[in-house]
């Protein structure tokens, strides 16, 4: 199927419903056995929670999600950008926007750590939205988290708060179309953490990221390997090195990058 045809079909709700189910079947088959083993060894009959990292203590669901869930329990998920997440928490922004929120690791985690912030989570996948609602309820943050489907940049003024809006963006290549600060100038005052997917777009990512530098100071991080000893703790003492090493895997491309965009204005 060509990218153009996929783009057309992606506008229809039925496509997203079918794709959500298909992806969950794939992820269940790929990760369920090892996830269940880790859960039984570490948490036994208790509710899983985030063991380390910026969201330490956050209660977590035990379901099939996009990709492996155990790195989120460990708190090692996207460790490359954990210092950026901590900077957001230290900043205590007024508004947090999570575009491509999945089941809510960042939306709910930041709602917990930034209790005065208004958090908007955007996610087109219906299964993820249901999971996000459960995760928010599990952590008692439903009241200050607003869940929506599509993010329309034309509405970005609704979420702006005097340079105190920060956004997390993970939308599988569409970030290059979304973060057009000439077309959507309101976004130029926002701070962004963006997962980059240059292989998933027909745009010219290098040209677009150079344009970002006109309005933002841009910093990059690249995927790194996890060291088992960095995630050793009392709670996972029963987990051997082999299981822990496997649990830390996020199945990413070696050239995976993230960008931090801080507004110059």
Q: Which residue ranges make up each domain of the chain? A: 3-263
| pLDDT tens readout for residues 54-69 | 999 999 999 999 999 9
Decide: helix, strand or coil at residue 53. Answer: coil
Per the DSSP assignment, residues forming a β-bridge with 169 are 99, 194
Q: Kindly state which CATH superfamily the domain 3-263 is placed in.
A: Vaccinia Virus protein VP39 (3.40.50.150)
Characterise 75 by phi-psi region: left (phi > 0), alpha (psi -120 to 50), beta (else). Answer: left
Q: Which helix (H) or strand (E) holds 215?
A: helix 205-215
Does the pLDDT at position 43 exceed 60?
Answer: yes
- Residue closest to 6 by CA, chosen among 122, 173, 150: 173
Percent of the chain residues past pLDDT 70, beyond the cut: 94
Does the pLDDT at position 265 exceed 80?
Answer: no
Does the pLDDT at position 13 exceed 70?
Answer: no
- Gap between the Cα atoms of 190 and 192, Å rounded: 6
Does the pLDDT at position 5 exceed 70?
Answer: no
DSSP secondary structure letter of residue 239: S
């Amino acid at each position: 199927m060509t990218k153009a045809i996929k783009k057309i079909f992606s506008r229809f709700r039925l496509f997203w419903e079918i794709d959500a189910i298909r992806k969950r079947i794939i992820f269940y088959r790929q990760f369920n056995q090892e996830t269940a083993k880790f859960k039984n060894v570490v948490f036994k009959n208790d509710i899983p929670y985030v063991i380390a990292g910026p969201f330490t203590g956050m209660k977590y669901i035990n379901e099939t999600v996009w990709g492996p869930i155990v790195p989120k329990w460990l708190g090692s998920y996207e460790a490359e950008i954990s210092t950026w997440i901590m900077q957001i928490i230290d900043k205590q922004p007024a508004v947090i926007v999570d575009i491509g929120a999945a089941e809510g690791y960042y939306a709910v985690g930041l709602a917990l750590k930034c209790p005065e912030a208004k958090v908007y989570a955007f996610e087109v996948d219906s299964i993820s939205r249901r999971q996000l609602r459960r995760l928010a309820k599990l952590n008692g943050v439903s009241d200050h988290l607003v869940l929506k489907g599509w993010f329309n940049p034309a509405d970005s003024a609704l979420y702006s708060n005097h340079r105190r809006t920060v956004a997390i963006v993970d939308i599988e290549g569409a970030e290059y179309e979304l973060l057009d600060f000439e077309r959507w100038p309101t976004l130029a005052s926002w701070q962004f953490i963006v997962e980059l997917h240059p292989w998933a777009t027909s745009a010219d990512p290098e040209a677009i990221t150079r344009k970002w530098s006109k309005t933002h100071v841009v910093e990059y991080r690249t995927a790194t390997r996890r060291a088992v000893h960095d995630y050793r703790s009392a709670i996972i003492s029963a987990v051997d090195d082999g299981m822990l090493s496997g649990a830390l895997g996020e199945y990413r491309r070696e050239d995976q990058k993230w960008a931090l965009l801080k507004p110059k204005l």
